[in-house]
């Protein structure tokens, strides 16, 4: 059976991270997290919507019993640039005081979203607060964020797939692809 066609091939310049490399790295991250939190409580805080595929695959590799919760922040909207302004669209269901909280993110770009999230979550007095991101664009950072687990450092290119969208579409691709140049402009 052939692979289903999920996107017009002219919309992507290249596949940056194929599915097998994603899955192999996520298994490593899960093993590392399981080791680091052994014997402790753990709450995975997924930032909607981009991190849902990553969360679903990562948690299957975490052997420590853990809860999950979700938060949604304002995204870029129609533009591909970060405004630096972050709003909470959906808050957590439960308090996080005295819990080990691990933020699960799809990508850190300028750092504004996570910088803001960390600041407001720290006020809720978790026992620990760490960050796990699948993708990291270090060259784009405008504000410093301490990231504890990184799946892949990637170049300054707009990527989509595996949870990440282009205009809210293509989150279902099983790989990370680079958006075609002609769609930027
Ligand atoms: P930051 O506040 O600039 O770090 O932006 C983080 C958010 O921007 C991520 O959670 C994504 O939703 C979005 N984002 C940043 N870069 C990309 C990209 O290359 N593709 C898709 N979304 C992106
Ligand atoms: Mg996002």
For the stretch 26-62, pLDDT in tens is 999 999 999 999 999 999 999 999 999 999 999 999 9
Alpha carbons 155 and 135: distance in angstroms, whole number: 10
Instruction: Say yes or no to pLDDT of 82 above 80.
Output: no
Return residues with CB closer than 5 A to ligand 2 (ion).
50
Q: Which of 48, 89, 109, 133 to mutate to test the pocket of ligand 1 (most atoms within 8 A of CB)?
A: 109
Instruction: Say yes or no to pLDDT of 185 above 70.
Output: no
Give bridge partners of residue 108 from the DSSP assignment.
136
Beta strands 149-153 and 128-136 are: parallel
Nearest CA to ligand 1 atom 22: 164
Instruction: Say yes or no to pLDDT of 86 above 80.
Output: no
Nearest CA to ligand 1 atom 19: 158
What pTM does this model have?
Answer: 0.93
The mean predicted confidence, pLDDT, of the chain is 93
Å from CA of 110 to ligand 2 middle: 12
Instruction: Say yes or no to pLDDT of 84 above 80.
Output: no
By annotation, the residues acting in catalysis are 109
Q: What pLDDT was estimated at residue 80?
A: 54
Q: What pLDDT was estimated at residue 87?
A: 83
* C-alpha angle 3-6-7 in degrees, rounded to nearest 5: 125
Q: Once rounded to an integer, what is the mean pLDDT over residues 3-8?
A: 91
Instruction: Say yes or no to pLDDT of 172 above 90.
Output: yes
Nearest atom of ligand 1 to the alpha carbon of 73: 10
Residues with CB under 6 A from ligand 1: 50, 75-76, 82, 105-113, 158-160, 164
Nearest CA to ligand 1 atom 11: 107
Instruction: Say yes or no to pLDDT of 177 above 80.
Output: yes
CB 89 within 8 A of CB 72: yes
């Amino acid at each position: 059976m052939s692979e289903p066609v999920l996107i017009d091939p002219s919309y992507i310049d290249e596949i940056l991270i194929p599915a097998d490399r994603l899955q192999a790295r996520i298994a490593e991250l899960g093993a590392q997290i399981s080791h680091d939190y052994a014997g402790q409580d753990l709450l995975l805080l997924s930032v909607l919507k981009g991190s849902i595929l990553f969360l679903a695959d990562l948690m299957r590799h975490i052997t420590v019993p853990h809860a999950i919760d979700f938060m949604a922040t304002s995204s870029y909207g129609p533009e591909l640039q970060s405004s630096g302004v972050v709003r909470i669209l959906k808050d957590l269901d439960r308090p996080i005081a005295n819990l080990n909280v691990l933020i699960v993110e799809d990508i850190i770009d300028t750092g504004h979203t996570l910088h803001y999230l960390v600041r407001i979550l720290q006020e809720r007095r978790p026992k620990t607060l760490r960050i796990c991101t699948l993708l990291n664009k270090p060259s784009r950072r405008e504000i410093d964020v301490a990231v504890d687990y990184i799946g892949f450092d990637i170049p300054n290119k707009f990527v989509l797939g595996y949870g990440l969208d282009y205009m809210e579409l293509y989150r279902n691709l099983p790989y990370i692809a680079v958006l075609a140049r002609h769609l930027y402009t």
